[in-house]
């Protein structure tokens, strides 16, 4: 006897949970299948939670979700070997509820989110790998799992199986991931007493700080580093394009070790005990790497659809939003008594296109290529900026005009006038 559901959601990350929750809340018969031992056990993220995306799904999530610190301050550092130049934004407006961003520990957060999905009435089954899709011609009619008698059927299958969506690949919805379309990120969680973190980062009462970093820490590879404050721990990590790791032959952990040893970073994490070490792929191919989003009887959401805005370090909010939009599409079609054909599910694509998700990806569509082809943004410029700051801030009896001249000369010498102009234009265009 084979079971039949309204929808099967494959995967229990932010995208899958958002889809399953929204569908179940609307009274749909939902089955969510998760490969890991428990929902969340395989999930890795920095992690910052963007309230807006979750609020649109669970408005009162703040009542019981496990949140670490709300973000009061954002720092952006451009690092040279032993220095950094940076900017900081801190505002008391970020210190007033409802807070806009939080740091979270994903294992705890995902457990909570999955609990909500189950409360809403979805059936969640873990330790079950979806191995293939059941097709009827071009139409997806269900899934096959690795369990005996493991075929389950549904009107719609929502693929939320993450960055390396084996299912989408197998079904031919998605080409094999290219190493230059994914970043490999590694991170560690270091325990430190709450008071130490408060005083070290100049915060109190559950306020937190984010430091985003770029420059020489990535050894010339396209990537960024980060440091987030949790309640009783710090998360520190770094991610670079997989293709670059391969090209440069650097081990990710070695890169992270080197970053932790940077004179500006070492004192921040000093005395901490490492609690956790994780690594994960991040889809960073951007707009051009987004696969077809729907077909007869299926939709694809979240990381599996490459929905990550690598410039602004956003991903989970894109995942939650696309998960919700896919669910809402299905709810609307059901209300209109329309079948889940490709023609009708195209509405999901429309929704994604008119949302911030696709608009943001489109805005930065050329960014991956520009960064990939111009390593100077990760090497020469951080060095030049840091040296310029050093020169300007060193008081040594040299007149300021001469200092400015010398800084200008260093830029021209390193990049040439045309190079500087070209870089400015490239970056400006990529941000358009």
Partner 1 sequence: MHTVVCIKQVPDSAQIRVHPVTNTIMRQGVPAIVNPYDLYALEEALRLKDRYGGRITVLCMGPPQAEAALRKALSFGADDAILLTDRAFAGADTLATSYALAAAIARIREDMPVDLVFAGKQTIDGDTAQVGPGIATRLGLQLLTYVSAVGEVDPENRRIIVQRRAEGGVQVLETALPCLITVLEGLNEMRFATMADMFRAARHPLTVWDREAAGIEDITKIGLKGSPTVVSKVFAPRPRTTRAELIEAQSGQPNDLADTLLAKLFTKHPQLGRQIVRRSS
The residue within the footprint of partner 1, chosen from 50, 94, 153, 191 (CB under 8 A), is: 191
Taking CB under 8 A as the rule, does residue 139 contact partner 1? no
The residue within the footprint of partner 1, chosen from 85, 125, 380, 389 (CB under 8 A), is: 125
Q: Which stretch binds partner 1 (CB under 8 A): 13-21, 118-126, 171-179, 242-250?
A: 118-126
Taking CB under 8 A as the rule, does residue 193 contact partner 1? yes
What is the phi/psi pair of residue 171, to 5°?
Answer: -80, -5
The residue within the footprint of partner 1, chosen from 74, 95, 100, 107 (CB under 8 A), is: 107
Q: Which stretch binds partner 1 (CB under 8 A): 36-44, 197-205, 219-227, 304-312?
A: 36-44
Question: What is the smallest separation between the CB atom of 147 and partner 1, expressed in angstroms?
Answer: 4
- Pick between residue 41 and residue 414 the one whose CB is nearest to partner 1: 41
Instruction: Single out the residue of 115, 127, 101 nearest to residue 20, CA to CA.
Output: 115
Instruction: Single out the residue of 313, 54, 250, 290 nearest to residue 163, CA to CA.
Output: 290
Write the CB contacts of 62 (distance below 8 Å, at least 6 apart in sequence): 51, 97, 98, 99
Question: What is the smallest separation between the CB atom of 296 and partner 1, expressed in angstroms?
Answer: 24
The residue within the footprint of partner 1, chosen from 74, 85, 100, 123 (CB under 8 A), is: 123
Instruction: Single out the residue of 278, 281, 227 nearest to residue 253, CA to CA.
Output: 278
Burial 304-314 (b: 16+ CB within 10 A, else e): bbbbbbbbeeb
- Pick between residue 123 and residue 346 the one whose CB is nearest to partner 1: 123
Taking CB under 8 A as the rule, does residue 278 contact partner 1? no
What gap in Å lies between CA 330 and CA 6, rounded to an integer? 9
- Pick between residue 268 and residue 352 the one whose CB is nearest to partner 1: 268
Q: Could you tell me the two tokens for 387?
A: 């040296």
For residues 143 to 182, the per-residue mask of contacts with partner 1, x marking binding by CB under 8 A and - elsewhere, is --x-xxxxxx------------------------------
- Find the largest Cα–Cα distance for the chain: 88
Query: 99: which DSSP letter?
Result: P
Taking CB under 8 A as the rule, does residue 275 contact partner 1? yes
- Pick between residue 124 and residue 357 the one whose CB is nearest to partner 1: 124
- Pick between residue 189 and residue 281 the one whose CB is nearest to partner 1: 189
Burial 29-62 (b: 16+ CB within 10 A, else e): bbbbbbbbeebbbbbbbbbbbbbebbebbbeebb
Question: What is the smallest separation between the CB atom of 309 and partner 1, expressed in angstroms?
Answer: 27
Q: 417-431 vs 400-415: helix axis angle to the nearest 10? A: 80
What gap in Å lies between CA 36 and CA 375, rounded to an integer? 37
Q: Which stretch binds partner 1 (CB under 8 A): 6-14, 35-43, 219-227, 349-357?
A: 35-43
Taking CB under 8 A as the rule, does residue 206 contact partner 1? no
For residues 324 and 57, the answer to whether their CB atoms sit within 8 Å is yes
Question: What is the smallest separation between the CB atom of 279 and partner 1, expressed in angstroms?
Answer: 17
Region 3-32 residues binding partner 1, contact defined as CB under 8 A: 3
For residues 230 to 269, the per-residue mask of contacts with partner 1, x marking binding by CB under 8 A and - elsewhere, is ----------------------------------------
Please state, in angstroms and as integers, the Cα–Cα distance from residue 308 to each residue in 182, 290, 304, 358, 401, following that order.
10, 10, 10, 10, 44
- The footprint of partner 1 (CB under 8 A) covers 1, 3, 37-38, 41, 105, 107-108, 123-125, 128, 145, 147-152, 191, 193, 273, 275
């Amino acid at each position: 006897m084979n079971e039949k559901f309204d929808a099967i959601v494959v995967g229990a990350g932010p995208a899958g949970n958002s889809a399953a929750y929204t569908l179940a809340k609307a009274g749909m018969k939902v089955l969510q299948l998760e490969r890991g031992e428990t929902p969340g056990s395989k999930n890795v993220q920095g992690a910052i939670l963007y309230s807006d995306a979750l609020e649109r799904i669970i408005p009162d999530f703040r009542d019981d979700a496990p949140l670490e610190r709300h973000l009061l301050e954002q720092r952006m550092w451009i690092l040279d070997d032993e220095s950094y130049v940076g900017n900081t934004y801190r505002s008391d407006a970020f210190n007033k509820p409802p807070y806009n961003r939080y740091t979270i520990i994903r294992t705890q957060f995902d457990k909570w989110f999955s609990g909500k999905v189950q409360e809403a009435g979805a059936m969640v089954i873990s330790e079950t790998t979806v191995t293939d899709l059941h097709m009827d011609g071009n139409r997806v009619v269900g899934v096959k799992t690795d369990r005996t008698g493991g075929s389950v059927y549904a009107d719609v299958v929502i693929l939320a199986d993450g960055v390396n969506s084996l299912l989408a690949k197998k079904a031919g919805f998605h080409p094999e991931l290219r190493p230059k379309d994914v970043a490999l990120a590694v991170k560690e969680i270091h325990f430190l007493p709450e008071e130490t973190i408060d005083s070290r980062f100049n915060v109190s009462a559950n306020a937190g700080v984010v430091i985003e970093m770029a420059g020489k820490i990535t050894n010339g590879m396209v990537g960024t580093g980060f440091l987030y404050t949790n309640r009783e721990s710090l998360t520190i990590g770094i991610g670079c394009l997989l293709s670059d790791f391969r090209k440069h032959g650097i081990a990710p952990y070695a890169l992270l070790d080197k970053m932790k040893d940077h004179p500006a970073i070492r004192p921040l994490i000093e005395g901490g005990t490492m609690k956790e070490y994780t690594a994960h792929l991040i889809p960073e191919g951007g707009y051009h790497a987004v696969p077809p989003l729907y077909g007869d009887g299926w939709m694809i959401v979240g990381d599996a659809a490459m929905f990550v805005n690598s410039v602004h370090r956003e991903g989970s909010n894109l995942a939650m939003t696309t998960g919700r939009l896919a669910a809402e599409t299905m709810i609307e079609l059901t209300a209109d008594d329309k079948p889940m054909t490709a023609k009708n599910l195209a509405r999901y694509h429309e929704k994604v296109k008119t949302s911030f998700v696709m608009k943001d990806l489109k805005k930065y569509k050329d960014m991956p290529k520009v960064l990939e082809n111009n390593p100077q943004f990760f090497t020469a410029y951080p060095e030049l900026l840091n040296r310029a700051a050093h020169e300007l801030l060193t008081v040594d009896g040299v007149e300021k005009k001469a200092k400015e001249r010398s800084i200008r000369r260093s830029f021209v010498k390193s990049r040439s006038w045309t190079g500087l102009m070209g870089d400015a234009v490239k970056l400006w265009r990529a941000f358009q």
